[in-house]
Every structure is written in C-alpha cells, then in structure tokens.
C-alpha cells in the first residue's frame, strides 16, 4: 500500500496547468459552495432563538444585526477553510486519487498547486480569526473559547496528528462544531448568556449537519475503504451507515418535537415538519440504494434539507417572537 501511495505521489503534478475555467471559478469550486449552507443554518437558528428569548424575557427585543453579519461571515469562512484543508491533507496523505468523488481533484488536474490549496485554507482561517477578534472586542473574551475550539476542530479534522475524520471521529466533531458551538455561539453574541434552549435548538441542527457528513462517507465508502480511512461506514459497514443516516435525519424531527413538549422550544418550532417530505424521500433513497448513485444525488439534497430545516426552525422562532408565545 505504501509503495502504491509513494508511486502515486511521484506522479502528481507539481505546478498549475492551463485550464479553460477562469481561476476564480476553480478556487470557488474547491471551496465546495454546496456545503457552505452547513454554516448558515446553525447561525440563523441561534440568532433567531436569541431574538425570541430576548423579546420574551424583556431584555432586548432587537437583534444586533452587525454582530449577526460578522458571525455569519466568520462561520462561512471557517467552513471554506475546512474544505480547503480537507482537500489538501487528503491529497498529501494519499487518501484521494484523481478519480475520488469526494475531492474536487484540482491538484491532480494541475489547476491548483497543493501550496495554493493550503494557502487558501490558511487565508480563510485568517479572515475568520480577524472577524473573531472583532467579536471579542464587541462581545467579550468568552468568544475566544468558541473561536479556538472551532479552529482546532476545523484544522485537525483532516490534519495530523489527530486526523479526526480518518479515525472515525469526524461525526462527533462536526456535530459539536457545526451544531452545538455554532448555534450557541450565534446565540451568545446576541445575549451573552447560556441557555438550555440554545442547547435544545443545536441538537436537531447538529444531527442534520452530521447527516451531510454521513452521506459524504456513504458516497466515498469504496475509496475510504481502499486507503483505510476509518469513517463510521468503513468501521461498521454500509448497512450501518444507511440506518445511521435514517436515525440522524428522523432524529432531527423527533428531538425538535421532544424539546417543544418539554417547553424548551416554542410550539411554532414544529414548523420544521413542513420539510419532512424531503427528509422522507432522502432516507428512502438511501435505504433502498443499490449502488453509489443515490448517495451522489443525495449529497446536495441532504445539504439543502439541512438549510431548509434551519430556515423553518428560525422562521418558527420568529413567529413565536412576533406573537410573544
């Protein structure tokens, strides 16, 4: 295996080659824009929840829109950086090939050098850090904890020495970073407090963003198995991966309902059930899959479901705020 990887490394391009695509389009596609909604949904939900609790508690009926914009941009830049680093480190460690579905293969095609991909990741993280510093100045030092945790998880998701994704820990880290930390972080910059409601709202959002990752891992099962990348489907098999996806997707709706019944979330949060037909079709396609094609098709559909679910949840919180429910 090591000899094969070394041989492949020696045959890899060392510099960019001419491409019919404009450079900006190549760089944009390598940022994987279809996945960027994963950062938008939790920040929408956290901000909407802060608006609801602020109005309900009589503290501050208005949201700080500048803080929302800075938080949203920082979150998207973190996701962009993670995507670039994932592309770079999977290439560097021999986990991707020119035929890998999970990579954009820009390095293999010579459209970008490995150094350029790595540099884009560093640049995205640097801009996100700058925005984080602004939030620290405006909100307080507690933001440092959110920022350091997000940067560490994002970088070591693919990079040594931890290589979290390759050790089967990617699901837990994505849930924590893109669910709990982002929802609570967006909530915290508005109200500067802890809330069990913020935790409750983060659970379904985190489950669905983990479903995006699991769909990616189902799609890449054969490639990951070949290089011993120990994602959960590789560890426990495709059947497990398919049912795990069903638990993640349906779990988002069940936990939302449970938190409404527990009065941690207002009842308009049940508006998320309007997106359930999309979730049902998504899960059915995965459970009946006979080859890779349903996983490939459902990758962007799962990302879209995550976004629409987040929008519906945020809209439900907005309705509750306006109605003072």
3-state SS, residue 177: helix
What does the mean pLDDT of the chain come to? 89
Q: Tokens 């949201």 appear where?
A: 63
Quick one: DSSP state of residue 78?
H
Where b means 16+ CB within 10 Å and e means fewer, 238-255 reads beebbebbbebbbbbbeb
- Residue 41's nearest CA partner among 149, 201, 156 is 201
CA 23, chain centre distance (Å)? 25
Give me 40's structure tokens.
């938008």
CB 162 within 8 A of CB 89: no
pLDDT per position as a tens digit, 128-168:
999 999 999 999 999 999 999 999 999 999 998 988 988 88
Q: Say if residue 9's pLDDT is above 70.
A: no
Q: How confident is the model at residue 56 (pLDDT cuts 50, 70, 90)?
A: low
Helix, strand, coil fractions of the chain, as percent rounded to 5: 75, 0, 25
Query: How far is 99 from 88, CA to CA, in rounded Å?
Result: 15
CA 104/CA 119 separation, integer angstroms:
16
Domain residue extents for the chain: 22-323
91: pLDDT strictly greater than 70: yes
């Amino acid at each position: 295996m090591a000899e094969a990887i070394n041989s492949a490394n020696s045959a890899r391009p060392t510099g960019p080659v001419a491409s019919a695509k404009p450079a900006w389009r190549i760089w944009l596609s390598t940022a994987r824009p279809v996945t960027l909604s994963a950062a938008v949904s939790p920040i929408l939900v956290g901000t909407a929840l802060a608006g609801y609790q602020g109005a309900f508690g009589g503290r501050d009926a208005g949201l700080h829109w500048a803080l929302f914009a800075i938080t949203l941009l920082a979150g998207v830049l973190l996701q962009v950086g993670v995507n670039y680093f994932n592309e770079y480190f999977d290439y560097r460690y021999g986990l991707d090939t020119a035929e890998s579905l999970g990579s954009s293969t820009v390095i293999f095609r010579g459209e970008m050098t490995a150094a350029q991909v790595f540099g884009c990741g560093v640049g995205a993280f640097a801009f996100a850090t700058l925005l984080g510093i602004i939030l620290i100045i405006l909100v307080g030092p507690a933001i440092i904890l959110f920022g350091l945790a997000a940067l560490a998880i994002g970088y070591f998701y693919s990079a040594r020495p931890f290589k979290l994704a390759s050790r089967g820990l990617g699901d837990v880290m994505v849930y924590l970073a893109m669910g709990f930390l982002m929802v609570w972080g967006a909530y915290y910059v508005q109200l500067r407090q802890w809330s069990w409601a913020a935790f409750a709202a983060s659970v379904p959002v985190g489950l669905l963003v983990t479903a995006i990752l699991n769909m990616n891992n189902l799609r890449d099962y054969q490639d990951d198995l070949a290089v011993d990348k120990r994602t959960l489907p590789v560890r426990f098999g495709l059947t497990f991966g398919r049912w795990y996806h069903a638990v993640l997707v349906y779990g988002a709706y069940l936990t939302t309902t449970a938190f409404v019944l527990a009065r941690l979330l207002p009842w308009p949060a049940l508006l998320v059930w309007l997106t359930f037909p999309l979730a049902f079709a998504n899960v059915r396609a995965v459970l009946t899959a006979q080859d890779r094609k349903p996983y490939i098709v459902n990758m962007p559909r799962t990302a879209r479901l995550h976004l629409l679910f987040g929008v519906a949840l945020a809209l439900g919180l907005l309705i509750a705020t306006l109605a003072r429910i």
